[in-house]
Structure 1
Amino acid sequence: MAATETTAVSKSRIDWIDAVKGLTIILVVMEHTTFGVQGALGHLPPVFGAIAEFAKPFRMPLFFLVAGLFAYKALYGDLRKFVDGKIVHFAYFYVLWSVIQIGIKIVVPHDGGWQVTYVDLLMIPIQPFAVLWFIYSLAMFFAAMRLLRSARPVYVFFFAIALYFMRLDTGWMLIDEFAWRFIWFVSGVYGAKHVFEIADWARARPASGLLLAATLLASVGTVVFSHLIDIRGLELLMGFAGAGAAVMLVSIAASNGLAFPLTFVGKHSLYVFLSFFLPMATTRIAMVKLGFENGDLVTLVALTIAVVSPIIGFRILEKTPLNFLYIRPDMFRLTAPRNFKPNVVMAAGGD
């Protein structure tokens, strides 16, 4: 299987991975910030609205594709370690932060149209709350691939493709998102070797890599803004095109020392993902109440604070009793405890 080679990939070949993780989490936060500002001001910020629409075909595909790149070791390794690192790990943060987010929305008055009650707490095991479905879906993808690990890759791939084209709309997020997104995780697992080859090629031939990436992104923009993206087949192709372009661009940037900000965010992506919602909403509400009407300005400020604040929060809390918000306690581990400060990153699947 192609993915077997990823376990021996040298650091010089994968220094762009954290940068890609940083890019994906920033795109995730940007989209939620943009549409939150739209709800608050009554109109979509023109610049960030266009960026969010442009990135939509490849934002989540890139996220799950990268998550699958290093999955081979877990999928074919010790079962106890797998359950601990890919199921219990995600379950801990999913339940904890679902309770926190729902609790805040119940207790703190807000103007949003989404009314939250104790019923949402009871639904946590079967209906993910807000953006936390990403975590639940990752656990499901790992579990599904573990069960399918003995199947021929071509069969698994076509199974994922079939799910994608079914356009499931059951109303249950776990089912619908699994069918829609599983193909990208599968592509990361089985196509890891090719993804690394694409990144290596772009690093070795930056001019050609930039030209190809620009061409791919231009095709994404053409399909998106001509509304042809509604065609399922084109949506799939644009997901691969945008993800491929992102890998090439970030790889080139990293090789030239230009990706440090993305790399820094990528190394802290779990912390950002779990808690960006609170500083994002607080900043947006404060700026709107202060009279700011420029949607792009509000989005930019809220996005920046939403990405930076969780990292600062983690640094403040990591040596305190509240570190359980970002670091899974030993009592919730099935394997031998790690050192106090594990290297946890969202897209890599945790510890």
Structure 2
Amino acid sequence: MRSAQPQQSSLPLPTVAVDAPEPPRVKPRVEWVDLAKGLTITLVVLLHTVGMLVRKDLTPEFWRDINAFLQPIRMPLFFAASGLFAQGMISMTWAKMMRSRVAHLFYLYTVWLLMFFVAHNLLPEEVRHGGYAKFEAVIRGLYLPSSALWFIYGLAVFAIVAKLISRFPLAVQFGFAVALSISAYGRYGFFADIGFGWRNMAMYFVYFLLALHAKQLVVAFSRLAKGWTVLAALAAYAAVYFPIVKLNVFEARELRLLVTTIGLGLGVLVAAWLVGTMVGNVFQSIGTRTLPVYVMMDILIAVVVALLLKVEVLTALPGVGAVLPLLVTASVIILALTAHKLILLARMDFLFELHPRLRGIAPAKPRAQLTTS
């Protein structure tokens, strides 16, 4: 842009070019990604809620079947949504990535491992997790993730592994990830007795990698979301889920990789299809704040169920047991988000974030402050 100055003589005056600062570029956001995160964290809360309620005979067993049906959709979608925008992280230097991302995740994992230990020593015995209440579980959890927090641990491991193999051709990277998944599903060798945390990481790493390197493909696929494509994907998923997982027609656990892959496709289409709907807006709102829900859900489920056990009049009402998982899930999410706000107001944000200075992401002080301090 050029600004003309008023002439005060007959001689022409030079014009001065003024470079206006460019507005900061905003990265385009794929709307359904936050929705997918909100949807999957809700399903994770439902999974843990049903487990507790069934053990306490507060809800029918059929809820376990519902969770089993959702399992091959839930975690692949969760990890794919996490990997979809991880390109910037992988392109960082090792020092920056380890400090700003990996250290942050391991910090969160360790803090909440300790919180689990404290909480499950304070909770009523009928709802506490005996394993979490032992300090040895904290030590063992540092190398053998076997709590509800394994997903955070997994994201840190995925970042490290994805960067380690990033210099190899994509065919080699995906070949490694698929072989890892098949070995974990088949529980061969190393994966036979290593625990569900590491086994789950091996199963689902391929979906983090897929979203990382095939973002455009995943986004293009999501644009196919329509009522009929969702129904077609649901039919395809049911066609592989029931014979392979539910009925175990084929005695080959490795085939579950096919189920989770089709499950991911269904999850992407459902999330994209729900964008703009009332239900979708709720999940999208939750999806921007998944961390507090994830780390607090296990403790809050125990608290809510402990209260339910004391009000038998409510749980004995006809039909309540059938819908109780939904009510508890909604309550836990609301409680987690509310508790998160209160914790931040109390300036206890260290529970949800490694200090920005330690992460290397603290904003620099203005120059004026630097010269006077």
CA contact (8 A) 1:90 1:136 kept: yes
Select which of 16, 28, 31 maps to 1:10.
28
Kept in 1, the 8 Å contact 2:292–2:340? The answer is yes
Moved more, 174-183 or 106-115: 106-115
- What are the ranges of 5 or more consecutive residues in structure 2 without an aligned counterpart? 1-24, 366-373
User: Does residue 1:218 correspond to 2:238, yes or no?
Assistant: yes
Deviation at 1:289, TM superposition (A): 2.8
The secondary structure found in structure 2 opposite 1:318 is: helix
Write out per-residue CA displacement over residues 244-298 of structure 1, whole angstroms, 9 at most, x where no aligned residue.
1121122122055651000011011011001112221111122123222554333
8 Å Cα contact 1:81-1:335 kept in structure 2: no
**Residue 344 of structure 1 aligns with which residue?**
none
SS at match of 2:274: helix
User: 1:209: which partner in 2?
Assistant: 229
Superposed counterparts of 1:119-158, under 5 Å = 119-158=136-175
Does structure 2 retain, via aligned residues, the 8 Å contact 1:127–1:173?
no
Alpha-carbon distance in structure 1 between the residues aligned to 2:33 and 2:250: 28
Deviations 1:98-136 (A, max 9, x none): 100112213434235734322122223212251111111
CA contact (8 A) 2:32 2:275 kept: yes
Q: Which amino acid aligns with 2:333?
A: V
Residue equivalent to 2:210 = 187
1:334 to 348, 360, 366: 360
Distance 1:8 1:51 in 2: 40
User: Would you say the 8 A contact 1:65–1:184 is kept in 2?
Assistant: yes
Moved more, 141-150 or 82-91: 82-91
**Alignment check: 8 A CA contact 1:102 1:121 kept:** yes
Higher helix share: 1
* SS in structure 1 at match of 2:145: coil
1:272 counterpart residue number:
293
Structure 1 unaligned spans of 5+: 1-6, 340-351
Aligned to 2:194: 171
Report the equivalent of 2:88. 73
Supply the distance in 1 between the matched residues of 2:236 and 2:27 (Cα, whole angstroms). 26
| Residue pair 1:141, 1:182 contacting (<8 A) in 2 also | yes
Aligned-partner Cα distance in 2 for 1:230–1:189? 32
Shift of 1:242: 1.5
1:119-175, CA deviations, whole angstroms, 9 ceiling, x for partnerless residues?
122223212251111111110010001111101111111111112222212334554
Q: Distance in 2 between matches of 1:230 and 1:33?
A: 30
Cα offset for 1:316? 1.9
Q: Aligned equivalents of 2:99 and 2:300: distance in 1?
A: 30
Alignment of 1:240-319 (within 5 A): 240-256=261-277, 258-291=279-312, 292-293=315-316, 294-319=320-345
Query: After superposition, what is the alpha-carbon deviation per residue over 1:179-207, rounded to whole angstroms, capped at 9, x for unaligned?
Result: 222222222222322110111222xxx24
Q: Give the paired residue count.
A: 327
What amino acid maps onto 1:38 in structure 2? V
Provide the rounded CA distance (Å) in 2 between the counterparts of 1:275 and 1:229: 38
Question: 1:259 aligns to what SS in structure 2?
Answer: helix
- Corresponding letter in the other structure for 1:314: H
SS of residue paired to 2:52: helix
Whichever of the two has the greater Rg, that structure is 2
Asked whether the equivalents of residues 300 and 332 of structure 2 are also in contact (C-alpha less than 8 Å), the reply is: yes
Partner of 2:8: none
Contact kept? 1:16, 1:263, Cα under 8 Å? yes
Residue 318 of structure 1 and its aligned partner are, at CA, apart by 1.7
What secondary structure, in the 3-state scheme, does the structure 1 residue paired with 2:166 have?
A: coil
Deviates more, 1:297-306 or 1:31-40: 297-306
Alignment of 1:49-60 (within 5 A): 49-60=64-75
Give the Cα–Cα distance (whole angstroms) in 2 for the partners of residues 239 and 143 of structure 1: 23
TM-score by length of 1: 0.84
Instruction: Answer whether contact 2:81 2:211 (CA < 8 A) is retained.
Output: yes
Cα distance in 2 for partners of 1:113, 1:266 equals 27
* Counterpart Cα distance in 2 of 1:338 and 1:289: 53
Could you say what secondary structure the match of 2:328 adopts? helix
What is the aligned-residue RMSD (CA, Å)? 2.6
2:110 aligned with 1:95, yes or no? yes
Deviation by residue 1:63-107 (Cα, 9 ceiling, x = unmatched): 112211111111112434312332011012111111001122134
Q: 2:76 aligns to what? A: 61
Counterpart Cα distance in 2 of 1:103 and 1:195? 41
SS of 1:16's partner is helix
TM-score (norm 2): 0.80
CA distance, structure 1, for counterparts of residue 232 and residue 327 of structure 2: 32
Aligned residue for 2:148, secondary structure, equals helix
